[in-house]
Structure 1
């Protein structure tokens, strides 16, 4: 499977980077008690941080709002997924507890202040491109809506969009039967290439500590917009 970062997107955000992690033979389950406790501790820390602060207190939220503006998306109307999680905590709403994989993905998003997408690779077909969507592209999202991809940052395969930093698709959602997964990390452009590589490997290692399996990683950026996983 080939992965491609589009030139169109690089033109809007020259330092844009995407981390890719391929998982094989993972085991997704209910959230383990130890992981649940760690997530709850971090959620409580965030809640305290946001008692007297807006969500833009976090640098990662501010930076991604700027990225959205650079590609022509209103961050007040379409919020990056990590910002939505921070807002959920500020409003004292519980975090979703769908599976160990989803809970850990949300934890990474909060801890590292960036949007991530986690997908079932069995439902991804052909090559994958991170790009800007067109007016004739849309997808059924986990928000129970058909989401237009026009001018939005999306990740797509030959069947169309399946992910974005805002919401992911029903088609490729990870579940308890998933054994082969794909993590897409929308890395803050301010991170260097070396930082992005180290960070992506770190996320992969942490995920497999909980779910087992084998992992491969790659980072796409302006100088290296292509990668391949076998």
Structure 2
């Protein structure tokens, strides 16, 4: 399955880039105690770091707020998923464990300060995933339980339409304990050098496979 970036993004943000990972034959289950412990300690560390600064002072949070502004989405009304995680931690509303894939996704989103989406590959349709800007009238029901407007929002779409975004993912392809094949999209900082993007994406993939088994392949897709 190929992943491409549409000109509706590249014409506005020439430095836009994403890390894309395909996983096969993985086993998703309860998070191991090691991951639960690391996620908890990391959140506590972030909480203390944020006592003297605002969430918007975090470089990745700030960069992705600028991305939203660039495409015409108000970042104060539509906070990207990494910012939402940091705001929860700042309120000491720590993330509860969901499953090994989602917990690790959240851990890396906090570590790298960027939105990251993970999707059940078997639920996606067609041979191409396109990153583009959402059009007027496009919506989907999100994992937040609401109908979300996708207009001016960066979305990931298959042949059936949008299924994910750095704001909130749809409820069409969530990863659960029955997932054996998955697609992960890392919405990298636009200012991140390409070489660093490759290292980051590979590091995430290796950690994911060490917990879930299976095989993975990755690439960084540039605008």
**Normalised by the shorter chain, which TM-score bucket?**
over 0.9
2:70 aligns with: 70
TM-score relative to the length of structure 2: 0.97
Is contact 2:115–2:187 with CA below 8 Å preserved after alignment? Answer: yes
Structure 1 residue runs of 5 or longer lacking an equivalent are 223-230
Stretch deviating more after TM superposition (93-102 or 17-26): 93-102
- List structure 1 runs of 4+ shifted beyond 2 angstroms: none
- Equivalent residue, structure 2, for 1:119: 119
Q: Name structure 2 gaps, 5 residues minimum.
A: none
Equivalent runs, 1:6-155 vs 2, <5 Å: 6-126=6-126, 127-155=128-156
Compare 64-73 and 42-51 and name the one that shifted more.
Answer: 64-73
> Contact between 2:43 and 2:94, CA under 8 Å: does it hold in 1?
no
* Paired residues of 2:6 and 2:131 also in contact (CA < 8 A): yes
CA contact (8 A) 1:121 1:182 kept: yes
Asked if the contact 2:133/2:155 (under 8 Å) is kept, the reply is yes
Give the match's secondary structure for 1:107: helix
How many residues are treated as equivalent by the alignment? 222
Distance 2:195 2:206 in 1: 17
What is the CA distance between 1:195 and its match in structure 2?
1.4
Distance 2:63 2:135 in 1: 24
Q: Is the 8 A contact 2:164 2:170 kept in 1?
A: yes
Counterpart Cα distance in 1 of 2:92 and 2:41: 14
Stretch moving more, 52-61 or 38-47 = 52-61
C-alpha deviations, 1:99-142, integer Å up to 9, x for none? 01101000000011000000000000012100101113211100
* CA RMSD across the alignment: 0.9
User: What per-residue deviation string (whole Å, max 9, x for no partner) do you get for residues 11-49 of structure 1?
Assistant: 110000011000001110111111111111100100001
Task: Give distance in 2, aligned partners of 1:96 and 1:122.
Answer: 26
Q: Which SS does the other structure have where 1:89 is aligned?
A: helix
